[in-house]
Amino acid sequence: MKIALFGISEIKLGKHNLKDPRLDQADKLIEADKKTYAQADVIGEDQLLDADAILALNENKADLILKDLEFVETRLGRDPQPAERTALEKIKSLLESERFLFNSGLAPEEIQAVAAHSFYTNKPVALAAKEELADPETLLLRAFQQAGYICFLTVGGKENRAWPIRRGLTALEAAGTIHTDLQKGFIRAEIIGFDDFVAAGGETQAKRAGKQRLETKRYMPGAGGHVPAASTRPIRRITASCTAGASTTSTGTIGRCSGWTPRRSGSVFPRRNRAQDPSRWLPLRRGPLPRRHRSLQARHPVQLLDLLAHRRAPLVRAGERVHAGERR
């Protein structure tokens, strides 16, 4: 996401880590090779309209509102259409009362009437005091949260990581931030609530206490209303059937293969075998891994089973699952 600075020169432009304290806590409980924070791209005042959120000082609030007010007055002087004029007059009234347009309660038809225009205050605006500039990490994290973003955590293996998503996205959409293959073949998400995770002292202890649960693709990370952003529930593990037929469990960027689910012809088994073999027993492909698997393994070290590469091709009936180590 992009955070634009308005009237602030003390924070450097560029990539910044959003140091979520939950990730620090999780990293102490679960060992991993590295820890990766979510990041925000901090941009300058000349890119305000390209930003997802704006960070400004309290003393610059009036200047930000004035930029929109000047545009509204100019537009009203050009004899706009009746619907647009009505919406602009309401916007002018809001701005004159020193209110931002974001979440101001404009009706859908009023928003539609001015959809062709871009307003600076129609974005989430985080206001800060000068004293807060001494701690830019906390300030950027607050702007990130006020913009409607949250993070879910994946821990264990090679990486403990915070993944940024917009609040309200489902587990299916959240899986796509890790890898698109996980979203395409999504099966379930294994969830441990962050508070339960910390209270139990780690993943294994939380599982033994019965705190892990399975959620479908409609589950929304961070849902629950009373749950504060600082303790949003993380997605612990995502199980998905990849396009090549592998049912893969992703924990951060390290994967664990939980079995094979033949779902698509051509990559796992040839289409001609499906048509020629009335018994529907279909051989898995033998030989080296396809290039798409090798590239996926390079980007995300998913531990794919050796069934395709080093074992004799087992026979499976279409729709059945062959688990790791199982022989036919």
Query: What Rg do the C-alpha atoms of the chain give, in angstroms?
Result: 25
Task: Mark residue 166 as left, alpha or beta (left: phi above 0; alpha: psi -120 to 50; beta: remaining).
Answer: beta
Which CATH superfamily, name and number, covers 2-32+39-145?
Obg-related GTPase Ych/YyaF, coiled-coil domain (1.10.150.300)
Domain ranges of the chain: 2-32+39-145, 149-317
Q: What is the pLDDT along the chain (328 residues), one digit of tens a residue?
A: 999 999 999 999 999 999 989 999 999 998 899 999 999 999 999 999 999 999 999 999 999 999 999 999 999 999 899 999 999 999 999 999 999 999 888 888 898 999 899 999 999 999 999 999 999 999 999 999 999 999 988 888 889 999 999 998 898 998 888 888 888 888 888 888 888 889 999 888 999 999 988 888 888 886 432 222 222 334 444 444 333 333 333 333 223 333 333 333 333 333 444 444 444 433 444 455 566 555 555 554 434 333 333 333 344 444 444 444 444 4
Across the strands, what pairs with 190? 214, 237
Task: State residue 160 phi and psi, 5-degree precision.
Answer: -100, 125
Cβ burial, residue 87 (10 Å; 0-12/13-18/19+): buried
Which CATH superfamily, name and number, covers 149-317?
Beta-grasp domain (3.10.20.30)
